[in-house]
């Protein structure tokens, strides 16, 4: 088992998938010689050549449209969109074409493509480069959405996404790219739709994904100092999400908080809260609470961005409120 950075795990997953399957190719802006904005595709041009690592023009709509067409003809394209904010320019191809193809063709055609894109703040990149838009894509039938929280999951979920017969959005929190973690020697894809218990507990459950998982763990450690044991769940996959795992945990702990970096209003957390209030109502000892960003654009300034982004202290406050 080797220690590896998150961004290197992404790079390794791409290289391994391209080695294993000649139909896998990469397309995006500056992903060739430059290695991508965050260096996720570093050295892959030298290894696989320009026919499989394709530096595209600056047109997210064209990039995604080319990928949809290639996928429909049997290829497995992996698109890199430099910032998740720029997926706005890919929405027609993703939402109206890729997501609908299997249904429109009566199950006779599919779009086995992946779109990788970084979301989130922490780099003071401002309101047009820091958004978390995963709820948009999770709302669209036909799209799958995953968001890894650590290097091993970044590898395993990306491999699973590339193997999937339908379009998958892989959301990578750019503040995690430098994170170090263990990558198993026997690397395998991670099943999309299956979460994991990061920390077991008996008094409350925190459900999170991406960068919020580390916040939830810090909050759990704080509560443990007071004798309160918090169970932390990493969803890994947002669409589909592991409803059974969350309900099983709620059945044990009887208190639930959902935390994510995205804006709280109309977010992924709202769906989880609504579903658990429906099927898990009898298990609740307190209100289900959400922790997320305020309903405002992400600010540029470091001090303002720090205040804007959710943190462990807000999760602790939510836990205390529901336990009260």
Q: Which residues are catalytic?
A: 60, 129
> What is each CA distance from 93 to 73, 80, 185, in whole angstroms?
16, 14, 37
> What is each CA distance from 126 to 91, 201, 246, 299, in whole angstroms?
22, 37, 33, 5
Exposed e or buried b for every residue in 225-250, given b needs 16+ CB within 10 A? eeebebbbbbbbbbbebbbebbbebb
Could you report how far apart the first and last alpha carbons of the chain are, in Å?
Answer: 43
Cross-strand pairs, 132: none
d(CA 62, CA 255): 46
Closest among 9, 2, 22 to 157, alpha carbons compared:
9
> What is each CA distance from 271 to 28, 49, 95, 125, 288, in whole angstroms?
32, 43, 20, 28, 12
Closest among 248, 247, 253, 195 to 223, alpha carbons compared:
253
The secondary element (H helix, E strand) that includes residue 136 is: helix 134-138
């Amino acid at each position: 088992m080797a220690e590896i950075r998150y961004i290197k795990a992404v790079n390794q997953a791409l290289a391994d998938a391209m080695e294993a399957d000649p139909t896998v190719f990469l397309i995006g802006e500056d992903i060739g010689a430059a290695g991508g904005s965050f260096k996720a595709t570093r050295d892959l041009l030298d290894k696989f050549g320009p026919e499989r690592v394709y530096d595209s023009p600056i047109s997210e709509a064209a990039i995604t449209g080319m990928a949809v067409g290639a996928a429909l003809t049997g290829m497995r394209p992996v698109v890199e969109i430099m910032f998740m904010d720029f997926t706005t320019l890919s929405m027609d191809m993703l939402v109206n074409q890729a997501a609908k193809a299997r249904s429109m063709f009566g199950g006779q055609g599919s779009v086995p493509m992946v779109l990788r894109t970084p979301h989130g703040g922490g780099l003071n990149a401002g309101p047009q480069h820091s958004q978390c838009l995963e709820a948009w894509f999770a709302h669209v039938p036909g799209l799958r959405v995953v968001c890894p929280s650590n290097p091993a999951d970044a590898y395993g979920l990306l491999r699973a996404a590339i193997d999937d017969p339908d379009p998958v959005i892989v959301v990578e929190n750019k503040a995690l790219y430098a994170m170090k973690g263990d990558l198993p020697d026997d690397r395998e894809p991670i099943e999309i739709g299956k979460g994991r218990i990061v920390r077991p507990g008996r008094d409350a459950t925190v459900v999170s994904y991406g960068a919020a998982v580390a916040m939830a763990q810090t909050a759990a450690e704080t509560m443990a100092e007071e004798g309160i044991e918090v169970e932390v769940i990493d969803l890994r996959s947002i669409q589909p999400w592991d409803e059974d795992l969350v309900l099983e945990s709620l059945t044990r702990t009887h208190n639930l908080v959902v935390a994510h970096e995205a804006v709280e209003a109309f977010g992924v957390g709202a769906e989880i809260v609504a579903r658990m209030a429906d099927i898990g109502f009898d298990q609740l000892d307190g209100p289900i609470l959400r922790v997320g960003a305020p309903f405002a654009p992400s600010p540029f300034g470091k001090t303002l961005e720090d205040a804007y982004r959710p943190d462990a202290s807000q999760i602790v406050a939510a836990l205390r409120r529901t336990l009260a």
